[in-house]
Amino acid sequence: MNIDTRKRELVKELSPMLEKSSLLSKIWIAALISIILVGLYAFVLQLANGHEVTGMRDNVVWGIYIVNFIFFVCLSYSGAFIAGVLHFFETPLKNSIARIVEITTVLSLIIGPVFILLCIGRLDRLYYLFLYPRIQSPISWDIIAILTDLIGCFVYLYLTFIPDLAILRDASKENAEVPNWRKKMYRFLAIGYQGTPSQHKRLHKIIRIMSVMIIAMAIVAYSVLAWIFSLTVQPGWNSTIFAPYFIISGLYSGIAVIIIAMYIIRKFYKLEKYITKIHFFAGGVMLLIISLLYGYFTFSEYFSRWFSHKKHDVDLLNTLFSRYFWQFIFANYFGILMPIAILFFKKLRTVKLVTIAAIISVLGIWLNKYLIVVPTLETPYLPIQDTRAEFVHYTATWVEWSLSLTGIAAFCLFFTLILKFVPAIPMSGIIDLEKGKQSKREKNNPIVTEF
């Protein structure tokens, strides 16, 4: 196999998605920008009028912003975890989905913490957190963990991009259609990578070390996020299994979002050749295993609360089974059992059904996080008395929904823009895989030279 020829072939095959913008993609980007603009208006309103425009009040000081924060950050950690595992164990499936996982990781880690900022009433005092940090506080740990993880994920994402950036740099040299700024950008970011054996070896070594590190960091950061809740004595939060529960639920949502992203990218960019049914099958099996674990943890969590019969836990469960009955049923029954029911049968593990199971999982997990945050705050140890119902209970306003949608739209927009810069399928990974296969073949069937 001639590597240079193969590189050119791959560039020819995958670069149209970088160079051309279809009408559909233009409409898609315009729609996303429109959602973001509405969100910006909502943000200005919130900035001008304060949290009065949200549903957050004295009792429920955390609303869907925090739910989104947990969701996105968990998504990021699970992305980091999965990306690390894919690279470390050099799984053959990694070539098609690794980039999707890595981009998901970094983008969700950028968007997630923005929701925390939206939740803070006095943003002007934010710097106090850095000037007077209390190292004993899980909030401080979370900030340290998120910042460190964000940098780590950026570095990791960049490392995995380097060989492809080098391929694109070389390919764009003689291509007049590629604009100059893009050529310069590829040249700058490829840092002179030529794919020599020593460069290849060195890059793979640091990627491998980083992959181990981000697995460890993801576990630490997941746990810290869970401890923000479980280290308080609030009913519904004070739980010893919250850290592993968050890890499992994060992986559940992470795998589900990756499956959805795989489906959209495969369909949109027509990548059926690279993202195959096997990927969905494997993703479905992974989702099934994690959904069983997640269901087990969810059951353990609520069962122990119900059985202990502590007054405030009973109050919380009463709230969950009265005011939040349907949400609870959807999140913790439908959202877990339905994906299990679909994915349990081999015949049902088709591309579409696995994606549907993933969508149900994502909705269920978001609702599960909502039910962790809001009902607990609605049933405090010292209830507010003689006040209006809207001060006791929480209902998200259009401002909060708009800003939440803005987060999702920003995630999709940045994802789309990154895929305009590098292909969704890592070309270097495919070449490495093919090289590996070839050398294996040569080992098994050595060329015999006759004299």
Partner 1 sequence: MKINLLKYIKITSFLVALLLNIHSNAQESDASNYNMSFEFKTVKQHDNSRLLEASFTGKNKEDRKDVIPMFDAEIKFFNVLNEDEVLLGAAKTSQAGIAQITLPENQKYLTDEDGNINLVARFEGNVNVEESSAEIVVKNIYLELNLEEIDSVKTVLVSAFTIDELGDKIPLEEEIDIVLYVQGMLSKMKIAEGSISEGAYEFEFPTDLPGDVKGDVTVFSIIEGHEEYGTVIQKKNAKWGVFQQQIKKTKNTLWSSAAPIWMYVVLTILLVGVWANYIYTIINLFIIRKEGKDLELETES
Nearest distance in Å: CB 207, partner 1: 9
Residue 85 or 155 having the CB closest to partner 1: 155
Determine if 206 is a binding residue for partner 1 (CB under 8 A).
yes
Nearest distance in Å: CB 424, partner 1: 24
Residue 193 or 263 having the CB closest to partner 1: 193
For partner 1, the binding residue among 2, 5, 180, 198 (CB under 8 A) is: 198
Nearest distance in Å: CB 147, partner 1: 10
Name the burial class of residue 89, with classes exposed (0-12), middle (13-18) and buried (19+) by CB atoms within 10 angstroms of its CB: exposed
Q: Which of residues 134-193 bind partner 1 (CB under 8 A)?
A: 134-136, 141, 144, 148, 151-152, 155, 159, 162, 191-193
Residue 6 or 208 having the CB closest to partner 1: 208
Q: Which is nearest to 187 in space by CA: 172, 201, 198, 206?
A: 172
Size of the site for partner 1 (CB under 8 A): 27
Residue 81 or 274 having the CB closest to partner 1: 81
Determine if 196 is a binding residue for partner 1 (CB under 8 A).
yes
Residue 162 or 372 having the CB closest to partner 1: 162
Find the part of the chain contacting partner 1 (CB under 8 A) among 208-216, 301-309, 330-338, 406-414: 208-216
Tokens of 332: 């913790």
Residue 208 or 393 having the CB closest to partner 1: 208
For partner 1, the binding residue among 139, 143, 213, 433 (CB under 8 A) is: 213
Nearest distance in Å: CB 75, partner 1: 21
**How big is the chain by its Cα radius of gyration, in Å?**
24
CA pair distance 46, 134, nearest whole angstrom: 29
Find the part of the chain contacting partner 1 (CB under 8 A) among 203-211, 244-252, 368-376, 425-433: 203-211
Residue 145 or 377 having the CB closest to partner 1: 145
Determine if 202 is a binding residue for partner 1 (CB under 8 A).
yes
Residue 5 or 198 having the CB closest to partner 1: 198
Find the part of the chain contacting partner 1 (CB under 8 A) among 110-118, 121-129, 207-215, 360-368: 207-215
Contacts of 267 (CB under 8 A, 6+ apart): none
CA pair distance 187, 172, nearest whole angstrom: 10
Determine if 194 is a binding residue for partner 1 (CB under 8 A).
yes
Residue 136 or 449 having the CB closest to partner 1: 136
CA pair distance 251, 78, nearest whole angstrom: 5
Nearest distance in Å: CB 394, partner 1: 30
For partner 1, the binding residue among 85, 110, 219, 220 (CB under 8 A) is: 220
Q: Which of residues 238-257 bind partner 1 (CB under 8 A)?
A: none
Enumerate binding residues for partner 1 (CB under 8 A): 134-136, 141, 144, 148, 151-152, 155, 159, 162, 191-194, 196, 198-199, 202-203, 205-206, 209-210, 213, 217, 220
